[in-house]
């Protein structure tokens, strides 16, 4: 009976170690995903600002064309 207790303790410790490793891996993956998502969000906002600038330039060009067409 004594050896069964030892086996049970060993199995419990191994299971706890495996669970701990899995939790650590999940935390690391979540951090990587957040970093990657933040990078993607940064690129999106950079593209949005770039496109916004282009739109303003296009509006200015259209307005100047309209002004020269009427005057």
Instruction: Using alpha carbons, select from 47, 67, 65 the residue that is nearest to residue 55.
Output: 47
Would you say the pTM of this structure is higher than 0.75?
no
By residue count, the chain amounts to: 71
Q: In the prediction, which pLDDT does 36 show? A: 84
* Stretches in the chain below the pLDDT threshold 50: none
- Dist. CA 53–CA 49, nearest whole Å: 6
Q: In the prediction, which pLDDT does 58 show? A: 65
């Amino acid at each position: 009976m004594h050896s069964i207790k030892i086996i049970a303790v060993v199995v419990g410790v191994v299971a706890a170690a495996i669970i701990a490793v899995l939790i650590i891996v999940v935390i690391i993956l979540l951090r990587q995903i957040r970093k990657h998502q933040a990078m993607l969000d940064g690129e999106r906002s950079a593209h949005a600002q770039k496109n916004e600038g282009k739109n303003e330039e296009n509006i200015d060009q259209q307005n100047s064309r309209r002004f020269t067409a009427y005057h």
